[in-house]
Each structure stands twice: as structure tokens, then as C-alpha cells.
Amino acid sequence: MGTREKVEAVLTRARRRTAGLTDCLDDSDLVAQHSPLMSPLVWDLAHIGNQEELWLVRDVGGREPVRSDIDELYDAFKHSRRSRPSLPLLNPVEAREYVRTVRDKAWDVLGSSTLRGGPLEEHGFAFGMIAQHEQQHAETMLATHQLRSGAPVLTADTAPRVGVSVAENEVVIPAGTFTMGASDDPWALDNERPAHTVHVPAFVIDAVPVTNGRYLEFVADGGYRRPELWSERGWAHRCEAELEAPQFWASDGGGTWWRRMFGVPEPLHPQEPVVHVCFFEAEAFARWADKRLPTEAEWEKAARWDPTTGCSRRFPWGDNDPDHSLANLGQRFLGPAVVGAYPAGASPLGVHQLVGDVWEWTSSPFEPYPGFTAFPYREYSEVFYGGDYRVLRGGSFGTDPVACRGTFRNWDHPIRRQIFSGFRCARDLSGEER
């Protein structure tokens, strides 16, 4: 598939998903704020169009603005999510018409672009950036659906409930250098760049993400009542937020646990990766298990390093784009698959489901790589460096393949758990294992 055809495909897929997440709701649900953590869905819809107008229509295309009067309304840095319902936003009819108009103009810009020349057009970067931006907001809108109360409106096939038996619980990753980050991937974003060599001491990492069943052992063992398992900040947050279990879990009091997914309660599946836990919960579990969370470099080496060639792959399975046999991505299902469901997607050393299912917390703060250069705007990454964020890796069932690769970096506050976040543990090698 050529670059132009790829651009057309990813933009079309993104818009189809945006429509699916907004057309299923009536206007009152679109303008409502379902959580102070999230924007009204109608804000996300128009913001998607506004970013596309700014970068594709005005910047790449050099065309006249469609609605320059609304730029400030849809600038994510001008207004907090909590405050957005009070703004004079476009109503659902106006927002849909706006994004349609912008997309028509964007198609015209694509038709006349050589996809060559300046850094925004070379290899279709700006078009790929906008497709990634729309899919990132689609995942945010999916999280809003999870927070929404009321009758269920989303449907999908059931994620795989049977997986292969994973041979080892843990995998040893040998000491040595590997290439971290990306320089040659034409659609990699600025915080993934540049590629650089990192030395990682030998370590052990879980072969699969932590499951509901394993996490339930932590809950049953009093994990939420034992301050010695938590960091000082983590325990303070656990107490203030009154955390007792992952978000959307509920017990019937008789030993059975349920989880609500997009308005549908279902019994907790013990072999699914745990989802909707914050960094502090993941950190406490790891300490309970006599382990720790992996660093970002450890996670990426486990996901990308090929011991046979000594090179870094684009994905755990190789350089080919994901397909349905390799990872649970793209909102095909409304939840994680069981562990072992994607054996073809395992890394060369046998680490499973590093891509898809759940975002995985790492212990690393969000910081720039050596030689980082902001592109094409500071507000995508640079303004977040040094803040109170932890890096997540790997993507979730709600992440589109265009916005997921072995180098992709997500980040969020350590208290956040409305995102589709899980984790796996790591540990140092013991003396007899060396």
C-alpha cells in the first residue's frame, strides 16, 4: 500500500470510529459531562475537526479557515476538561457539519499534496499525525462511554476467552544494549525520537500481564489495607479516594466479584488482564508480589529486542503492522482478551501481549530522550516533561493500530485509572539466576 492509500485508509477508519462513538447517543448525552475527568463528547468531536483544520487545511493546504472563530474554544490548553461544558460549544448538529466540511477540504488537500518536501508533508507525516490524534481522542471517548451511566449503547463481539498455556511465568531478558526509540519510522511522534542506544542490566519480566485472578489474591490478602505495600503518596491517595479494588469492580458480598464494562455487569474473568488500575495500585501489587514495575527501557527492550539479530523490531512479532491474529487493538472487542490469546504476537523471548489489551504502567517518569526536538508543536510532548506523570506502554483494546507501536509512549498522572490501564511486573535477577 502506497503512502497516499495508507493515509486514505487511516483517516477513513478514524472517522468511522468517531461516528460510531457519537452517532449512538442522543444530543443530551453528547453535550453532558459524564465525569469531571472527561470532556463532553461533543467537545471531543469538534476538537477533532479543529485540529484537522489547523494542520491539514490551513497549514499543509494553505487554505482559508473554516471556523477560525472557534480555535480558542477547542484549544485543549485554554480550558480544563472540567470547565468545558460551560463554554459556548458547537451543538451536535453544528459539530457534525463542521467536521464534515473540514474533512472534505482535507481530502482536497491530500489530492493535491505530493507527500514530499517539507517535514509536515514528507511521507504524509501531518496526515498520519492527524489520524493518530483522532484515534487517541476516540480512545478517550471510549473511556467516557465507560464512565457514562444509562442504558448500554456500544456492542462488539466477545474478546477471546481461551488462550494457549504460556510455558513460563517469567522471562529473563539478558543484559546488554539495544536501540530504544525511533528515527526511521515516518509517523513516529516527537517523544519517540530519536533512536538511541541504551544499556539495560539483566532482569526478569512477567510473561503475561497481571490477571484479574492474580490481582484478586492481592485484594483478598488485604492489599488495600496494608500501608507497608504502598508508597507514601500512594497510601495517601488510597485513603483519600477510598480505593478498595480496581475501578468498576463490585463484590456481591458472597465472594463473587463483578465488573461493569460499558454499562454491562459481568462476572470477573480470572484470566483476563486486570484493567482500570492506577499507577499506585500497580506499584503496591508489585511490592506485595516481591517484584516491581519495569522501567520504560526494560519494557521496550522486552517488546522490541531480537536476540538473534541484536536489532530492535517495530513490534514484538516483527516489523509488520498488527492484524487480528497478533494483538487485541482497535475496539474490535470491548475489553481485554484472556492471557495467551495471541501467541503469534509474542516477542522472540516469549513475552506475551505486550501490545494491545491493556496499557501497561512503567515506573518511569515522562522525560525527553537525548537529542529530543519538539515537532511540530511543543504542546504535544515538551510541556509535559518533568510533570507528575508516569509512562504507559503497549496500547489497549481501545487503541487503534495507527497509534500504537513498540516505541509509542503514553503518559498520565499516577492517580488516573479511568484509562484502560493494567500492568505487568519485573524484578532484578537473583544471585543464583545470574
> Is residue 137 marked as binding?
yes
Phi, psi of 140 (to 5 degrees): -65, -40
Report the run of H or E that residue 30 belongs to, with start and end.
helix 27-31
Rg (CA), the chain: 22
H-type alpha helices, 193-330: 212-220, 232-241, 279-288, 296-304
Please give the Cα distance from 347 to 228 (Å, whole number). Answer: 35
> Is residue 27 marked as binding?
no
Question: Which of 77, 71, 79 is CA-nearest to residue 54?
Answer: 71
> Is residue 133 marked as binding?
yes
Q: Is residue 215 exposed (0-12), middle (13-18) or buried (19+ Cβ within 10 Å)? A: buried
Please give the Cα distance from 223 to 41 (Å, whole number). Answer: 36
Please give the Cα distance from 190 to 329 (Å, whole number). Answer: 23
Question: Which of 307, 297, 419 is CA-nearest to residue 365?
Answer: 297
User: What's the residue count for the chain?
Assistant: 434
Phi, psi of 197 (to 5 degrees): -90, 135
What b-and-e string marks burial along 79-88, b requiring 16 or more CB atoms within 10 Å of the CB?
Answer: bebeebeebe
User: Grid coordinates 519495569 are at which residue?
Assistant: 294
Dihedral sign computed on CA atoms, order 81, 82, 85, 87: negative
> Is residue 47 marked as binding?
yes
C-alpha cell at 244: 478498595
User: Grid coordinates 463473587 are at which residue?
Assistant: 256
* DSSP letter (8 states) at residue 218: H
> Is residue 84 marked as binding?
yes
Question: Letter for the amino acid at 34?
Answer: H
C-alpha cell at 19: 461516528
Question: Letter for the amino acid at 45?
Answer: L
In this structure, are residues 333 and 363 in contact, taking their beta carbons and an 8 Å threshold? Answer: no
Taking residue 332's Cβ as centre, other Cβ atoms within 10 Å add up to 14
H-type alpha helices, 35-124: 41-52, 92-112
On the question of a cis peptide bond just before residue 270, with omega within 30 degrees of 0, the verdict is no
> Is residue 83 marked as binding?
yes
C-alpha cell at 49: 475537526
Which residues are documented as binding site for Fe cation?
A: 47, 133, 137
Which residues are documented as binding site?
A: 47, 81-84, 133, 137, 412, 416
Which residues are documented as binding site for gamma-L-glutamyl-L-cysteine?
A: 81-84, 412, 416
